[in-house]
Amino acid sequence: MNSSLFPVVAAALLTPFALSAPLPRSTPEEQGVSPAAIVKFVEAADKNVNTFHSFMIVRHGHVIAEGWWKPESADKPHILNSVSKSFNSTAVGLAIQDGKLKLDDPVLKFFPEDAPENPSENLKAMTVRDLLTMTCGHESEPKRDNGGPSVKQFLAHPVPFKSGTHFQYNTMGSYTLSAIVRKVTGQTPLEYLKPRLFEPLGIDNPRWDSSPEGNSLGGYGLYLRTEDIAKLGQLYLQKGKWNEKQLISQDWVGLATSKQVPNENAGHAGIGADWKEGYGFQFWRCRHNAYRGDGAGGQFCIVMPEQDMVVAITADTGNMQGELDVVWEHLLPAVREDALPADAAAGENLKQAIDRLVAHPVKKGN
């Protein structure tokens, strides 16, 4: 690293606490990204989206910029909402890798005691793959009652479409995946992932709320730090490999992050151009050949393979398309194949832009 530049941008590039096995840090220029463009990204995020909570940009495996809107901080876990689904999907992939289940296993196989008395043919045909791709055959998303989600509620919901043919966003289906992981492994996804994912990635103290049935909520309820989100994206960007060890198979990564089903005609809260690019295994496809984990309120784990980049974002906003737009508008054009000359002035501007960040009062719809 350029030692003359490093002190100027240190506050923008380093977290103020010691993570377990943190990602390496670098300057934007060393990794081929213009710091001036990152300043524009930060300023646009602050101005156009109410309100960002944090961002972290990783290029070539190095954190090149990060920031938190006060009072948020680097060491504070954040609710992930449906980014939890991508972690839950990873637990399913690992269970498949361990020989505990198969993509085409029927869902009813795992829950004979919770099945309706006379299950429909469509329900009988529903598989683990259908849960992962949100093509369970439901016309509407099953709702959980005030007592929390249950597998019995999910299985009781009408299934008018042939499974695998109709995309319908389905958090209860994600919860059912969590219940399946527990059925076949004897552990909740939280417990199952600790030695297989969280500990190898250096993710400390993950919290995942559970249902009255004792299952991790699966589709939501996970709390992690911004860097933890970035680590999941980096693991998938590296095709499942971490520190020279293949944590999850390259085949799974390819399936989970590719377009398994179309969704351009599906309704979803926060709908925009990036909600019509297809759906994988609890990952959304994006424009620019990217993919993402995606959670209500603006939580994102964005992976851009062509740029070898990951962007993690936490927020409290209804303008989720706006968050993605500032990434596409300001970060993508700033990426270069080779390193750039050091720019101390731009580094200082970036530091100051990040130091000024304060969360705005949340306004409905923005």
For 280-297, the DSSP string reads -SS-EE-STT-EEEEETT
Report d(CA 8, CA 342) in Å as an integer. 11
Contacts 24+ apart (CB under 8 A), 274-281: 274/321, 274/324, 275/321, 279/133, 279/134, 279/167, 280/133, 280/255, 280/256, 281/89, 281/92, 281/93, 281/132, 281/133, 281/255, 281/256, 281/257
Least Cα distance to 278 among 255, 308, 250 occurs for 255
Report d(CA 63, CA 257) in Å as an integer. 22
Terminal CA-CA length for the chain = 39
Q: What is the pLDDT of residue 360?
A: 87
Look at the block and give the residue holding tokens 């293949």. 246
User: Dihedral of CA 36/37/38/40: which sign?
Assistant: positive
pLDDT tens per residue across span 42-97: 999 999 999 999 999 999 999 999 999 999 999 999 999 999 999 999 999 999 99
Class of residue 143 by CB neighbours under 10 A (exposed 0-12, middle 13-18, buried 19+): exposed
Phi, psi of 208 (to 5 degrees): -135, 110
pLDDT tens per residue across span 178-209: 999 999 999 999 999 999 999 999 999 999 99
Q: What is the pLDDT of residue 8?
A: 32
Contact criterion met (CB below 8 Å) for 144 and 170: no
pLDDT tens per residue across span 240-284: 999 999 999 999 999 999 999 999 877 665 568 999 999 999 999
pLDDT at position 2 over 80:
no
Contact criterion met (CB below 8 Å) for 109 and 245: no
The mean pLDDT value for 290-300 works out to: 97
Strand ranges of the sheet holding 207-208, from the earlier edge strand across to the other edge: 78-79, 222-224, 207-208
Where are the chain's structural domains?
Answer: 6-76+225-355, 85-185
In whole numbers, what is the pLDDT of the chain averaged over residues? 92
Contacts of 327 (CB under 8 A, 6+ apart): 41, 302, 311
The model's confidence at residue 147, banded by pLDDT at 50, 70 and 90, is confident
Do you find a cis peptide bond into 142, omega within 30 degrees of 0?
A: no
Looking at the chain, the whole-number percentage of residues with pLDDT higher than 70 is: 92
Least Cα distance to 181 among 80, 280, 100 occurs for 100
Contact criterion met (CB below 8 Å) for 332 and 40: no
Look at the block and give the residue holding tokens 């829950």. 111
User: What are the structure tokens assigned to 362, written together?
Assistant: 């949340």
Q: Which helix (H) or strand (E) holds 184?
A: helix 171-185
Look at the block and give the residue holding tokens 């390259």. 250
Length of the chain, please? 366
The model's confidence at residue 21, banded by pLDDT at 50, 70 and 90, is confident
Contact criterion met (CB below 8 Å) for 323 and 49: yes
Report d(CA 342, CA 75) in Å as an integer. 29
Report d(CA 273, CA 266) in Å as an integer. 12
pLDDT at position 216 over 50:
yes
6-76+225-355 belongs to which homologous superfamily? DD-peptidase/beta-lactamase superfamily (3.40.710.10)
Report d(CA 188, CA 216) in Å as an integer. 6
How many C-beta atoms lie closer than 10 Å to residue 345's C-beta? 10
* Of 146-150, 161-165, 186-190, 350-354, minimum mean pLDDT range: 146-150
Secondary structure of residue 335 in the 3-state scheme? strand
Q: Are strands 284-285 and 245-246 parallel, antiparallel or unpaired?
A: unpaired
Q: Where are the alpha helices (DSSP H) in 194-247?
A: 199-201, 226-237
